[in-house]
């Protein structure tokens, strides 16, 4: 299979292909260094509720965007260089503190060299999901860093459905 790099790197197949985590990281790195974006289905729950299991995310080059606090990024971590998508919650000198929205512990300080790109788009059930990628991302990062995000969403469950629907117009 040959991957053509253009405006958007995308492979269309009739059945699912399973790739190792490190292979996906290398594909992303290759695409974004050539100025392309990379789109794929995510697995896992560490970014719930903003990025959910089976959402499709688009990773774009970090060089094309200002990486800021609150930005969800694709990065490699550990010696094995495993791929993860988590949110920047703090900047310390030239390093970034990165943490999953649904994780109690941060990933630690990550070098900009380990950041593959930023999440420029989230798709769920054929619809674009923008919440968590715009101006509210700094507030989400702050709540995540303080381990208060899960508490906020626990309270959210107790707000009546009609009130939540009305509030979503403003979020």
Task: Name beta bridge partners: 60.
Answer: 118
Integer Cα distance of 57 and 43 in angstroms: 11
82 token code pair:
């495993």
| Alpha-carbon torsion (118, 30, 36, 39), positive or negative | negative
Say how far apart CA 3 and CA 5 lie, in whole Å. 6
Q: Please, how many CA atoms are within 13 Å of residue 15, restricted to the half-sphere of its CB?
A: 1
Q: In this model, does residue 86 exceed pLDDT 90?
A: yes
**Tokens representing 162?**
């009609």
Strands 37-41 and 8-9 come out as parallel
Q: Could you tell me which residues are beta bridge partners of residue 73?
A: 86, 118
CA dist 29 and 116 (Å) reads 6
| Residue 160 per-residue DSSP state | -
Residue 156 pLDDT grade (very low, low, confident, very high; cuts 50, 70, 90): low
pLDDT tens profile 96-132: 999 999 898 999 999 998 999 999 999 999 888 877 6
Task: Supply the pLDDT for residue 5.
Answer: 41
- Better pLDDT: 74 or 138: 74
Instruction: Walk me through the domains of the chain, giving residue ranges and CATH numbers.
Output: 8-168 (2.10.109.10)
């Amino acid at each position: 299979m040959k991957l053509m790099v253009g405006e958007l790197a995308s492979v269309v197949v009739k059945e699912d292909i399973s790739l190792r985590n490190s292979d996906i990281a290398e594909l992303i790195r290759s695409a974004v260094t050539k100025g392309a974006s990379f789109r794929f289905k995510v697995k896992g729950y560490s970014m719930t509720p903003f990025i959910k299991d089976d959402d499709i995310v688009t990773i774009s080059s970090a060089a094309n965007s200002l990486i800021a606090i609150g930005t969800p990024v694709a990065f490699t971590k550990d010696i094995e260089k495993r791929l993860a998508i988590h949110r920047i919650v703090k900047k310390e000198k030239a390093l970034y503190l990165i943490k999953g929205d649904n994780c109690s512990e941060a990933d630690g300080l990550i070098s900009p060299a380990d950041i593959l790109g930023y999440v420029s788009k989230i798709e769920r059930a054929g619809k674009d999901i923008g919440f968590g990628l715009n101006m509210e991302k700094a507030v989400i990062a702050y709540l995540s860093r303080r381990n208060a995000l899960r508490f906020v969403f626990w309270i959210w469950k107790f707000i009546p459905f009609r009130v939540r629907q009305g509030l979503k117009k403003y979020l």
